[in-house]
Amino acid sequence: MAVLEAPVDERVQPSALRPVFIALRAGLHVLVVGLALFVVVRALLADDGLEVPVTVLAIVFLAWYGAGVAAAHRHLPVWARVLWLIGLLALWAALSVLTPDAAFLAFPLFFLELHVLAASIAVPLVIVTFAISVASTTMHLGFEPGSVLGPFISAGVAIVIGLGYRAMAQETRERQALILDLMATREELAAASREAGTKAERERLAREIHDTVAQGLSSIQMLLHAAERDVQDERTRERLELARETAAENLQETRRFIRELTPAPLDGRGLPAALQRLVDAANAQAEQSGAAVRASFSTSGEPSPLPMAVEATLLRIAQGSLANVVGHARATHAELTLSFLGDEVALDVVDDGVGFDPRKAEAGDGFGLPAIRRRAERLGGTADVESAPGEGTAVVVRIPVVPS
C-alpha cells in the first residue's frame, strides 16, 4: 500500500513539496480515525442495543486500516493493495448496515480508492461507494435530499482533489527525474571537459618540450661533437665526450617524456604508421563483431613530418570516423587516404554504406560530425561531409601545416 504514504517516491521529492504530501497523508489518517470514533460515540449515546457490534466493527475497521498503513513502506504489489481495500470496504459496508453514521466514513474512503487504484478503476469505484452510502442512509432514515446531495458533493470534491494530487505527484516525479538527469549530464560534461583540458595540456607540454628542450639538447650534442674533432688535448676531449654523452642521455629522456605525453597510437613512426595500426584494429574489431566492413589505408604526396597537434587531431578524427563506419554505416569497404599537399594535409574517409542526410545529422543530437568540424577548425582547417541516403559517406578534412 505504498500509495497510502504518497504516490510519489519521497526519495526524489523536492523538499518544497515534501511537507504538502506529509500533511495530506496525516490529514487522511486523522480523518479516518476521527470519523470512526465519532461512529462509536454516536452508537454508545444511542443506546439501541447495537453499541457492541458497532464498536467491534469500528475497531476491526481501524485495525485493518492501520495494518495497511504499517505495510505501506514495503511497497506491496497491486493485488495486495486491492485486497486490502476490498476488505476495508466490506467492513465499512457491514458497519453501514448497523448505523447510518457510517456514511461519514465514505468521504475518506473516496480518497483511499483514488490513491490506491488507477484513475480508470478508482473513479467508478467512488461512484459505487457513493451509491452504497446513499442506500445505507436511505435504509435507516428514509429518502432525504440531503442524504444524496452530501455524499454527491463529497465524491465530487474527492475526485477533483484526488486526481489533482495524482497529477501534482506525477509532475513532481518527472521534474525530479529531469533534475537528476541534468545533474548527471553536468557531471559528465565536467568530467569530459577536465579530460579534454588534460589532453590539451599534455599535447601543449609535449610540443613545448620538443620545440625547446629537445631541440636545444640536440644542438648541444652536435656542437660538442664538432668541438671534439677540433680539440687536441686528450683530457679536454674526454670531458667534451662526457658532456656530449650526458646531453645525448638527457635528449633520450626528453624524447621519452614527449612520447608519454603524446597520444599512444602516435608513439612510434608518425601519423601514417598510426593510421595503418588504426585500420588494422578496426578490421579486427569488425571481424570479431561480425560486421562485413573492411578498411584500407593509403597515402599520397611526399610524406613529411607534421606538427604534433595536427597529427593528434587527424588521428582522433580518423578514430571517430572509422568507429561510425564500423558501428553504423553497414558498409562493406572503407578507405582512409592521407594526402600531403605541401602547405596542407588532407584526410579522406570514404565508405560505401547506407549514408545519411548531413543536414539532419548536424541539426540533431549527434556529437560526431560537430566534433570533427570543431577539431579541424581549431587548427584553422575545414571538415566537409558528403553523403546521401543509400550513397555512402565521404569525410574530407584539410588542415594547413608548416612542416616541423
Run means of pLDDT, 10 residues per run, the chain, 404 residues: 40 55 78 86 81 87 84 74 85 86 83 76 81 79 72 76 75 79 80 76 75 76 79 83 82 74 59 86 74 87 82 85 78 91 90 82 58 85 88 91 59
Looking at the fold, whether 287 and 382 belong to one and the same domain comes out as yes
Tell me, yes or no, whether 339 lies in a domain. Answer: yes
* pLDDT given for residue 397 in this prediction: 93
Phi, psi torsion values for 355, nearest 5 degrees: 70, 180
* pLDDT given for residue 259 in this prediction: 67
Count of structural domains within the chain: 3
Q: Which residues contact 249 (CB under 8 A, 6 or more apart)?
A: none
Torsion of CA 97, 103, 109, 111, to 10 degrees: 160
Phi, psi torsion values for 382, nearest 5 degrees: -130, 155
Looking at the fold, whether 169 and 113 belong to one and the same domain comes out as yes
State pTM to two decimals. Answer: 0.40
Looking at the fold, whether 284 and 160 belong to one and the same domain comes out as no
Looking at the fold, whether 250 and 276 belong to one and the same domain comes out as no
Looking at the fold, whether 289 and 177 belong to one and the same domain comes out as no
The residue written with cell numbers 613512426 in the block is 269
Looking at the fold, whether 163 and 206 belong to one and the same domain comes out as no
Nearest to residue 1, comparing CAs of 91, 64, 90?
64
Looking at the fold, whether 301 and 226 belong to one and the same domain comes out as no
Looking at the fold, whether 170 and 217 belong to one and the same domain comes out as no
* Backbone angle region of 350, left / alpha / beta, with phi > 0 → left and psi within -120 to 50 → alpha: beta
What is the rounded end-to-end Cα distance, in angstroms, of the chain? Answer: 73
Tell me, yes or no, whether 337 lies in a domain. Answer: yes
* pLDDT given for residue 6 in this prediction: 39
The domain in which residue 23 lies consists of 2-183
Looking at the fold, whether 319 and 387 belong to one and the same domain comes out as yes
In angstroms, the CA 43 to CA 189 distance is 67
Looking at the fold, whether 95 and 236 belong to one and the same domain comes out as no
* pLDDT given for residue 360 in this prediction: 72
In angstroms, the CA 127 to CA 120 distance is 12
